A and B are shown apart, each in its own frame.
Chain A
Amino acid sequence: MSNDFYTTSILPHAGIIIKICRAYTDSQENFEDYFQEVCLQIWKSRNAFQEKSKWSTWIYRITLNVCLTLTKKSKKKGYSKEFTSEEITKNDAFENENLNLLYDAIKKLSELDKAIILLHLEENPHKEIGLITGLTPNNVAVKINRIKKQLKILLDGKIN
């Protein structure tokens, strides 16, 4: 992967990649693996991008696909790891406590709901979310309402 490609095409969107990867991983090590795999897949599939959609939509799609695939694979392998207290502190990657609580709640959602709420929080319109997830805009709107209610229950009394 050339530095040019990384700097011009991936780095401007690194934020969303980081946000999504964080939601699908439980450790810094996993997060870095997911992030790198996403970058690699974006680079590998760059020629398949047909400019029918925005580059950012393409990146969302790849990021979500990679995260879902890697999550499935690790579940299939029965990979689960008990983290030491030191690792848990390290996993607590964001300094903002409320943000960490929100992430914890998002991690408890189903894989599809996780993707939908992440795209919504990134202010993607329902139509765009529908294009990425394969749902109709109406369906997306209904799902977002349900997910927010679910998050509300999960965060109830925890947010400062």
Chain B
Amino acid sequence: MEKSINDIWTKGFENSNELSSPKIMNLYNQKSKLLINKIKKTSQTDNKSLLPIAILFAVAFGIAGHILLGFYGMMLIIGLFFFNRKLLSTLENIKITSSNYDYLIAYKKAIDKIITATFNLLGFGLPIILITGLWLYFRSSSKYATFINNYSFLNIVLIIIALATIISLVGISIYKITNHTLYRKHLKDLNSIISDLKNME
């Protein structure tokens, strides 16, 4: 039998038809599909996670006695949810036209646009929205009057700019950390597939 195992093997492959290699085609189709599905799933989950955060925000501020501020924060977070959902819908609209490579390039560009849009929102929009919210909330309070009376106009402007910068930095940092944690591997894989496909062309 020992001899025959080697014989079976050798004779089995005497017919060259046994070794016709599969064509290297559609190599990345499956990989791309899996990766795109992962990105979609992660982004949707990521966005949906804003909803419980919004509710928690409202509840926490409500308990602390700032119901209006809690409600305002909740509405802002819900607004962010819808903003993200609109951005993510652009990814759904990308159709495979000519090739897998073109599709992934279009997808990557759309992701880059989303990242830029979110950066702008957090960097510029968030400080404006938050400071406006704080002003609306505190403008009739004694704390606000004390603040206005104690500082010069220039100082108030500087404080607002400093506050806006801090809010902006915190927002962008949180976004960067979230992106790094959730999407770094996916984006790395996406770049790697695009690079491989480019080399194969």
Contact = CB atoms under 8 A, between A and B. Distances in A.
B64 interface: no
B13 interface: yes
Size band of the A side of the interface?
Answer: 20 to 34
B22 A31 contact: yes
A18 B19 CA distance: 7
B17 A95 contact: yes
Interface stretch (A57-65, A82-90, A132-140, A148-156): A148-156
A102 B1 CA distance: 12
B10 to A, nearest CB: 8
Interface in B176-199: 196, 199
Q: Find the residue from B4, B8, B19, B27 having the highest chain A CB count within 10 A.
A: B8
A99 B13 contact: yes
B9 interface: yes
Contact of B27 (A40, A95, A101): A40
A159 B8 contact: yes
A148 B42 CA distance: 48
Contact of A95 (B5, B6, B15, B22): B15
Interface residues of B, number: 22
Interface in B3-37: 4-6, 8-9, 11-13, 15, 17-19, 21-22, 24, 27, 30
A96 B21 contact: no
A15 B19 contact: yes
Contact of B12 (A6, A14, A98, A155): A98
A142 interface: no
A102 B8 CA distance: 8
A6 B24 contact: yes
A39 interface: yes
Q: Find the residue from A93, A99, A148, A151 having the highest chain B CB count within 10 A.
A: A99
B92 interface: no
A35 interface: yes
Interface in A19-65: 19, 31-33, 35-36, 39-40, 44
B151 to A, nearest CB: 61
A113 B30 CA distance: 30
Contacts of A155: 1, 5
Contacts of B2: 148, 152
A107 to B, nearest CB: 14
Contacts of B1: 148, 151-152, 155-156
A121 B5 CA distance: 8
Interface of B: 1-2, 4-6, 8-9, 11-13, 15, 17-19, 21-22, 24, 27, 30, 196, 199-200
8 tightest Cβ-Cβ pairs between the two chains A and B: A99-B12, A14-B21, A152-B1, A121-B9, A96-B12, A32-B22, A98-B8, A15-B19
16 contacts: A1-B196, A6-B24, A14-B21, A31-B22, A35-B21, A36-B22, A36-B24, A44-B196, A95-B18, A96-B12, A99-B18, A101-B8, A102-B12, A121-B9, A148-B5, A151-B1
